[in-house]
Amino acid sequence: MTETKVNTSTKKIIYANVIYNFGKTLLSEEELLQLQSPSHGHFSYLNETLHLHVYRVTTTTNSKLVNGIQFHFFKGKTSKFWLATKLHLHLRKLKPDVVMVHGFSNPIQLFCLWLLVRSKIIIHYNGGGTPGGLKGQLQKWARFFVKYFVFTSKEQTKDFITKRFIHPQATIYEIPEGSTNKKQFSKQTARQHLNLLPSDIIFLWVGTLDANKDPITVLKGLSEYLSKNKTYKFLMIYRTSALLNEVKQFISSYPNLKSQIVLVGSLPQNELDNYYCSADYFVLGSHYEGSGYSLIESMACGCVPIVTSIPSFYTLTNNGQLGVLWETGNVSSLQEAISKALKLNTSTESEKVVSHFEKELSFKAIAEKQWRMITSVNTSYP
């Protein structure tokens, strides 16, 4: 396998990565760093070739090195009318060549950034769909001065272009939102830790139990196969549980499947590895995703995807060439996908999945893609 290398042949560019808010409440520096770690892993590679500065809004104001990366934390407010003036003045003094702003939800901050800093701006889409109301109307004006955008899949931009959040002539870069340091290891070892048999066929779910992830459709599709073969197991890992009662009701209506559907619940990140590496297949019923972190984690560990054919999943699975995709909300489509997946050589398919992850979805691969994007934006006119 050819190792991905970040090009170092040109003069270092000053590049700033900015997130104004992350959720409805402000986080401490430590909380924010932990929560955003899946989208920070590529920084160490970029830092070798760029003058990288990371700006985040937290509960304190502070500048410090984090694993060799220069972070600037600015104390913010949850008020809709708060302006990140100190952050922008710091950026103005830095004079970055390129600034990446995450999300479409801070139009006023974006205008201030453009007026005060006058750098080339890239907007990175982090999910959530197009903004509505006054915020949405203001955000539409950004299309006149922001010409560069990052999405997991270019297919996701259609609604943004139609609703005039993105100019039709804008440049779109297709780069995953984040990645993982998880690695595939021996399936036998992983199963021994979990007391799973080598002969078991393991389907794995890692995701919230909500209408968007659609666990009921997945359970309906899998139940036919589980009932025919007692070696089939479905393990469900989840944090939020809006549909947990519905899931339990479904399981109780199939008493013969109780031993095969395991509600694991919430687990810390370091305990997920054995589950990912034990699984043969990874199953999700998402109707929409900005990216798909659990899918990326599963692919890093060699799980064969059986996921919906939404734009982000289609792109992450090498345009649907890895595993089997199925139509959202369609039980019959899922059953057909499972049937096709069971006919695959899982060992060979798993190798393809891991190879694709390393080449296209790993932190190193993301850094290479972002480096090419940043250098291209920096040399573009105007």
Q: Are 236 and 218 in contact (CB under 8 A)?
A: no
DSSP type of residue 254 = -
The whole-number pLDDT of residue 22 equals: 63
Which of the residues in the chain have pLDDT under 70? 1-10, 22-23
Q: Kindly tell me the sign of the dihedral angle through the C-alpha atoms of 266, 315, 148, 162.
A: negative
**Dihedral-angle region of residue 195 (phi above 0 means left; psi in -120 to 50 means alpha; beta otherwise):** left
End-to-end Cα distance, the chain: 39
The CA distance from 278 to 200, in Å, is 10
Span 187-361 CATH architecture: 3-Layer(aba) Sandwich (3.40)
Q: Do domains 13-177+363-379 and 187-361 have the same CATH topology?
A: yes
Domain 13-177+363-379: which CATH class?
Answer: alpha beta
The whole-number pLDDT of residue 348 equals: 98
The CA distance from 345 to 278, in Å, is 16
Structure tokens, 177: 């939102």
The CA distance from 296 to 176, in Å, is 9
- The domain segmentation of the chain, as residue ranges, is 13-177+363-379, 187-361
Closest CA to 71 of 25, 36, 26: 36
The whole-number pLDDT of residue 79 equals: 80
In degrees and rounded to multiples of 5, residue 287 shows phi and psi of -90, -25
Task: List, in sequence order, every residue forming a beta bridge with 86; answer none if it has no partner.
Answer: none
Burial tier of 266 (Cβ tally within 10 Å: 0-12, 13-18, 19+) = exposed
The CA distance from 193 to 266, in Å, is 17
Q: Are 292 and 206 in contact (CB under 8 A)?
A: no
The whole-number pLDDT of residue 25 equals: 85
The CA distance from 305 to 341, in Å, is 9
Query: Which helix or strand (DSSP H or E) is residue 149 part of?
Result: strand 148-151
Structure tokens, 294: 């659990």
